[in-house]
Structure 1
Amino acid sequence: MRAVYIWQQPTWAEFKWDNERLITLLSDVRNLEGRIIGLMDGVGFNVQNATSLDVMVEDVLRSSEIEGELLNADRVRSSIARHLGLNTEGLPEPDHYTEGVVQVMLDAVRNSNQTLTHDRLFNWHAALFPTGRSGMHPITVAAYRVGSEPMQVVSGAMGREKVHYEAPASEAVPAMMDKFLDWINKEQGIDPILKAAVAHLWFVAIHPFDDGNGRITRTITDMLLAKADGMPHRFYSMSAEILRERKGYYEALEKTTTGTTDITPWLEWFLQTLRSAILRSEVTVKRVVAKSSFWQRSREISMNDRQVKVVNMLWDGFDGKLNTSKWAKITKTSQATALRDISDLIEKGILVVANEGGRSTNYLLKEEL
């Protein structure tokens, strides 16, 4: 028996959910969000901007990666940094496509209070597909899909395809998008975070474009989450967490879009994933705050450029264990100079010898103990 899709339900777009099942999750998310904002309020604008830059780079990269597209991280960083007025020294010039992807994300989160219109969506879509093609195939760009071919989400090899979802016919899309945008731009008295979750599902269900629906869905979600927390900076990445939970993401969407208009399970999945994203971010933000505090306390301590470089790398999450050989390689200096640099930082109370076995001596920031 053919699946009945959510848009075929008599009560389509009249979504309902069980608030009792969501209240604890929603409260957890709000509390975590408050903790992150509180942490960032304790540091200067430079640190806030640097942290937000890292998060936005991650968000752009991972949203594209979900769709199987790998962007150059340095070009993404260069584009975002330039738009934020931050230093781009040593970074490559962003290409035209990367610039378009970044502009879409920045428009969404920095102008989250602006009305979401058909034209704004079309502008986003045009930026994602500047050549008018998806891969080698021409698509309708900056307009909703047309034609009689069914819009299907499929997987599997040719001849063995599995249809996971079939979207509404193209002639139904304009009216459905009218209703969706009307809902987005009006206050309904529901929690703004829940609104972001509902919008995510609703847009996916309509699948209004020939391609790029997933990326634009996540852009709308980021816009509504930015509006929900009222912050111009982003301190967590929902797209990065969705990528980590990609299998569960697609399963949750498929289950909900082939079910009834009771979307409680989807909202639970969304809130759980958002909570994980904020928890993961909290670890990073705490480290950023600790790093900022460290440099404020250490401003009277004399360090050479090599020492500053490696200490910053340790604060930023050094990959592996630091020893004399790695120090020499990173700073392009001799083993003897590396050992003198390290010994000097131990005397100044910045580094300590790691209490572990092994043939080589490893070092840690004293504050990591």
Structure 2
Amino acid sequence: MRWNWQLPDWPNFGFDPSRLRVAEERFLKGSGVVVGTMHHLDEHARQGIVIELISREMVESSAIEGELLDRASVQSSIARQLGLIADKRRSNPAEAGAAELMADLYRRYAVPLSDELLFDWHRMLMNGRRDLADIGAYRTHADPMQIVSGALHAPRVHFEAPPSDSVPLEMARFVAWFNDSSPKGDAPFPAITRAAIAHLWFETIHPFEDGNGRLGRAIAEKALAQSLEAPTLTALAATIHRRRKAYYAELQRASQSNRIDAWMTWFADIVLEAQASTIESIGFLIEKTRLLDRLKDRINPRQEKALIRMMAEGPNGFAGGLSARNYRTITDAASATATRDLAELVELGALERIGERRYARYHLKIPAAANSIIVPGAKA
């Protein structure tokens, strides 16, 4: 099989721009909602949302590659990287490196792409690794860079990247295009279009010995943020993680031709889904803060601990709801105390109970995210 980079038209990707026009318009409109809402929040609330979104993106991006990071440790590391107050939680090298990368992406989204920036990101991401020959540098090994699955004696090759000795030239061409296609470049591209091409192109070159998936998704996020001229994240990794099987299938299909309409359409759908998820998350985080502020001095430490634990699971709380038994596990409360605490939280409007007695389950009673989002230009 000949891969896309082996074809005569590489890297002149062909697609129909008109198929992305509606998606581009929807993305810009949604981005205005996100940026406008963040501007209307106070500094403390904005910092909390930024830390939550950045940490989730890195945790999910690592999970796509099979690496599990502790969310709380990543959050603490990100807070330190951004110069915010953080607890003294210790992070392992992978968590600290991931946090450093995401904080740098957020802070320096507008900086042009370069080999040096990518090398810095790679060193951050590979923090603590001792098994790689090339860290903070493009790969140099002579063996083919392949994506394979199956048994060692009969591997299935899903993709083979360009040989290592051609990577510097390939990356020079990619970096030049990325900067030229930026909003301030000589040939600017629309947001989603640029991010989709950038991610596919970078993944095709696969320039590093490891970490290409996470760096490629960071580049896509950088492309989207530059198009918005705002330090923001679109929750791409979290959405791709939910569509992981389709993601790899679409990448493999796109690696066989430089006519990439199917990839562009699929990626555009993912970006819009990711943006909707980001808007929902921001709304939930705003309402979460409002609820805890309203309940301040009205609930005991056990109740606060249980609510925070539920909120850590996201807008839907625990799958299936919180049971009295779960509450006792979280708080170490006695059975009668747990029953009384839960009844009070229902009465205060923090929880909603479904079912009776031992079948009772409790769900967070938080308004829909749309009620919390401020649409720029709209009247309060």
> Normalising to structure 1: TM-score of the pair?
0.85
Q: Classify 1:47/1:208 alpha carbon distance in 2 versus 1 (closer, same or farther; 3 Å).
A: same
Q: Secondary structure at the match of 1:248?
A: helix
Q: Is the CA contact (8 Å cut-off) linking 1:139 and 1:211 kept in structure 2?
A: no
Q: Match of 1:230?
A: 229
Q: Classify 1:273/1:152 alpha carbon distance in 2 versus 1 (closer, same or farther; 3 Å).
A: same
Shift of 1:346: 5.1
Q: Is the CA contact (8 Å cut-off) linking 2:192 and 2:271 kept in structure 1?
A: no
Q: Classify 1:324/1:242 alpha carbon distance in 2 versus 1 (closer, same or farther; 3 Å).
A: closer
Once the two structures are superposed, residues 270-298 of structure 1 have per-residue CA deviations (whole angstroms, 9 ceiling, x without a partner) of: 11111122222333222222233445555
Q: Classify 1:193/1:45 alpha carbon distance in 2 versus 1 (closer, same or farther; 3 Å).
A: farther
Q: Match of 1:330?
A: 330
Q: Match of 1:79?
A: 77
Q: Match of 2:149?
A: 155
Q: Partners of 1:165 and 1:194 in 2: how far apart?
A: 23
Q: Classify 1:272/1:304 alpha carbon distance in 2 versus 1 (closer, same or farther; 3 Å).
A: same
Q: Partners of 2:95 and 2:197 in 1: how far apart?
A: 29
Q: Paired residue for 2:108, among 107, 111, 128?
A: 111
Q: Match of 2:124?
A: 127
Matched, 1:284 2:281: yes
Q: Match of 1:262?
A: 259
Matched, 1:5 2:3: yes
Shift of 1:176: 1.5
In the alignment, structure 1 segments of 5+ residues that lack a partner are none
Q: Match of 1:309?
A: 305
1:138-149 alignment runs, 5 A limit? 138-149=132-143
Shift of 1:131: 5.6
Aligned-pair Cα RMSD in Å: 2.8
**Aligned residues, how many?**
359
Once the two structures are superposed, residues 327-362 of structure 1 have per-residue CA deviations (whole angstroms, 9 ceiling, x without a partner) of: 444333334444444455555x42566253454545
Q: Match of 2:353?
A: 354
Q: Partners of 1:57 and 1:258 in 2: how far apart?
A: 34
Q: Partners of 1:310 and 1:130 in 2: how far apart?
A: 34
Q: Secondary structure at the match of 1:14?
A: coil
1:90-101 alignment runs, 5 A limit? 92-101=89-98
Task: Point out the structure with max Rg over C-alpha.
Answer: 1
Q: Classify 1:42/1:356 alpha carbon distance in 2 versus 1 (closer, same or farther; 3 Å).
A: farther
Q: Classify 1:46/1:142 alpha carbon distance in 2 versus 1 (closer, same or farther; 3 Å).
A: same
Q: Is the CA contact (8 Å cut-off) linking 1:184 and 1:199 kept in structure 2?
A: yes
Runs of 4+ in 1 over 6 A off after TM superposition: none
Give the share of equivalent positions with the same residue, in percent.
33
Q: Partners of 1:42 and 1:163 in 2: how far apart?
A: 50
Q: Secondary structure at the match of 2:158?
A: strand
Q: Is the CA contact (8 Å cut-off) linking 1:76 and 1:99 kept in structure 2?
A: yes
Name the stretch that deviates more: 44-53 or 109-118: 44-53
Q: Partners of 2:146 and 2:339 in 1: how far apart?
A: 61
Shift of 1:111: 0.1
Q: Is the CA contact (8 Å cut-off) linking 1:39 and 1:289 kept in structure 2?
A: no
Q: Is the CA contact (8 Å cut-off) linking 2:74 and 2:91 kept in structure 1?
A: yes
Name the stretch that deviates more: 196-205 or 356-365: 356-365
Q: Is the CA contact (8 Å cut-off) linking 2:138 and 2:209 kept in structure 1?
A: yes
Aligned-partner residue type, residue 101 of structure 1:
A
Q: Secondary structure at the match of 1:217?
A: helix
> Normalising to structure 2: TM-score of the pair?
0.83
Q: Match of 2:194?
A: 195
Q: Is the CA contact (8 Å cut-off) linking 1:48 and 1:233 kept in structure 2?
A: no
Q: Classify 1:245/1:302 alpha carbon distance in 2 versus 1 (closer, same or farther; 3 Å).
A: closer
1:164-243 alignment runs, 5 A limit? 164-186=158-180, 187=185, 188-234=187-233, 236-243=234-241
Q: Is the CA contact (8 Å cut-off) linking 1:287 and 1:315 kept in structure 2?
A: no
1:40-51 alignment runs, 5 A limit? 40-51=38-49
Q: Is the CA contact (8 Å cut-off) linking 1:353 and 1:361 kept in structure 2?
A: no
Aligned-partner residue type, residue 148 of structure 2:
V
In the alignment, structure 2 segments of 5+ residues that lack a partner are 369-380
Q: Is the CA contact (8 Å cut-off) linking 2:328 and 2:335 kept in structure 1?
A: yes
Aligned-partner residue type, residue 204 of structure 1:
E
Q: Secondary structure at the match of 1:241?
A: helix
Q: Secondary structure at the match of 1:354?
A: strand
Q: Is the CA contact (8 Å cut-off) linking 1:17 and 1:264 kept in structure 2?
A: yes
Q: Secondary structure at the match of 2:208?
A: coil
Once the two structures are superposed, residues 199-255 of structure 1 have per-residue CA deviations (whole angstroms, 9 ceiling, x without a partner) of: 111111112222222222122122222222333343x42112112211111111111
Aligned-partner residue type, residue 240 of structure 1:
A
